[in-house]
């Protein structure tokens, strides 16, 4: 009698609920964020809807950072202003947080955000709870570039950030491997959760991957995320990076907060809270910033996080860092995404066994 070994189990009920092959940039699905706010990190880019910064070429989505001066001129950048108010619906400012909709160089003593870039999201068009994500992507090459593939909740079901959670599948840096903080040979996966800012227990759910040879801007890799009621895992080409199992006591116990702190998940019976609600996809390419993602004294950083004019120091050093972007000769400094697939189990519990003789 022939014998077989069980080598895997997969859900026969798993359905493909998103299959984006980027035959075009479908603006009915991928909505642009329009803001200069820099995510609260005082980053040096602003996000806009412009085919210089977000476009599809040969079936690949590109998110390409460029110089803002190439659009508005260096004099306006240094002495003028930029307003994102008004315009067509696709071009209206999406967030005024951190002076996101209007800035003035003359009024602040700082140049206007010197990098023009793109941030795409699906909050209006595609949200899901629990499932499996595959994103075939090539990360950008160039100093101070900060690419991210991540997710936020459709509704802040437990309150403002980080109470309602954040899932960072990929965060990396475009610098080379000599950068002490990590360069494009590495990426991190992180879950953010906490009762309120600044109580973010991200260090309880964080892992980093180092590529064994070359770096992640050399080729495309499949970045994966598996999300169930019991855990969230991330992978690269099938290799596990982060494996966070939701504790029986929930995230409040995992964070180590005491009872003097309000628990936003107190009345929630599911241990996965706040990761038990619908989330949406976000792709963006940021540049620089003054939070600890770019630590002081590392990577020959030309600005200080404590300098109120840090953006000026960054921009005045552009001859050095623009050489590493190799733009416009190439699109090496763009984050490139070949496809996005999202699978979800329909809940029937059916399974397929994979056997090997």
pLDDT at 87: 82
Measured CA to CA, the distance from residue 135 to residue 149 in angstroms comes to: 9
Token pair, residue 166, equals 């954040």
**Neighbour-count burial of 157, counting CB atoms closer than 10 A to its CB (0-12 exposed, 13-18 middle, 19+ buried):** middle
What pTM, to 2 d.p., does this model score?
0.93
Give residue 339's pLDDT band: very low, low, confident or very high (50, 70, 90).
Answer: very high
- Provide the number of structural domains found in the chain: 1
- For the cut 90, the answer to whether the pLDDT of residue 15 exceeds it is yes
- For the cut 90, the answer to whether the pLDDT of residue 8 exceeds it is no
**Neighbour-count burial of 320, counting CB atoms closer than 10 A to its CB (0-12 exposed, 13-18 middle, 19+ buried):** exposed
Measured CA to CA, the distance from residue 218 to residue 216 in angstroms comes to: 5
pLDDT at 21: 98
Token pair, residue 21, equals 């092959």
CATH number at residue 340: 2.60.120.200
pLDDT digits over 232-263, tens only? 999 999 999 999 999 999 999 999 999 999 99
pLDDT at 341: 98
Range of the domain at 9: 5-356
pLDDT at 1: 47
pLDDT at 86: 85
Give residue 355's pLDDT band: very low, low, confident or very high (50, 70, 90).
Answer: low
User: What would the mean pLDDT of 307-330 be, rounded to a whole number?
Assistant: 98
Give residue 348's pLDDT band: very low, low, confident or very high (50, 70, 90).
Answer: low
């Amino acid at each position: 009698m022939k014998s077989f070994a069980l080598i895997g189990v997969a859900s026969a009920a798993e359905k493909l609920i998103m299959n984006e092959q980027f035959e075009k940039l479908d603006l009915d699905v991928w909505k642009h964020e329009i803001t200069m706010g820099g995510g609260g990190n005082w980053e040096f880019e602003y996000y806009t809807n412009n085919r210089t910064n977000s476009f599809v070429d040969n079936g690949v989505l590109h998110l390409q950072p460029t110089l803002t001066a190439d659009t508005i001129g260096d004099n306006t950048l240094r002495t003028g202003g930029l307003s994102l108010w008004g315009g067509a619906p696709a071009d209206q400012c999406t967030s005024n947080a951190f002076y996101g909709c209007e800035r003035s160089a003359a009024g602040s003593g700082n140049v206007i955000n010197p990098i023009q870039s793109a941030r795409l999201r699906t909050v209006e068009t595609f949200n899901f709870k629990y499932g499996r994500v595959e994103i075939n992507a090539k990360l950008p090459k160039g100093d101070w570039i900060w690419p991210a593939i991540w997710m936020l909740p459709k509704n802040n079901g437990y309150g403002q950030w980080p109470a309602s959670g954040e899932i960072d599948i990929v965060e990396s840096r475009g610098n080379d491997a000599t950068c002490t903080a990590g360069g494009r040979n590495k990426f991190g996966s992180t879950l953010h959760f906490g009762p309120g800012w600044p109580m973010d227990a991200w260090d309880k759910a964080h892992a980093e991957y180092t590529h064994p040879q070359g770096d992640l801007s050399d080729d495309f890799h499949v970045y994966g995320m598996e999300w169930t009621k019991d855990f969230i895992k991330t992978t690269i080409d099938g290799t596990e990076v982060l494996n966070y199992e939701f504790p029986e006591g929930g995230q409040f116990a995992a964070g180590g907060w005491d009872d003097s702190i309000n628990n936003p998940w107190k009345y929630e019976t599911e241990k996965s809270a706040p990761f038990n609600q619908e989330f949406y996809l976000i792709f963006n390419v940021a540049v620089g910033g003054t939070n600890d993602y770019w630590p002081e004294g590392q990577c020959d950083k030309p600005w200080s996080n404590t300098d109120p004019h840090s953006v000026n120091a960054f921009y005045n050093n552009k001859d050095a860092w623009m050489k590493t972007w190799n733009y416009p000769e190439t699109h090496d400094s763009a984050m490139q995404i070949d496809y996005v697939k999202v699978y979800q189990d329909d809940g029937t519990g059916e399974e397929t066994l994979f056997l090997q003789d």
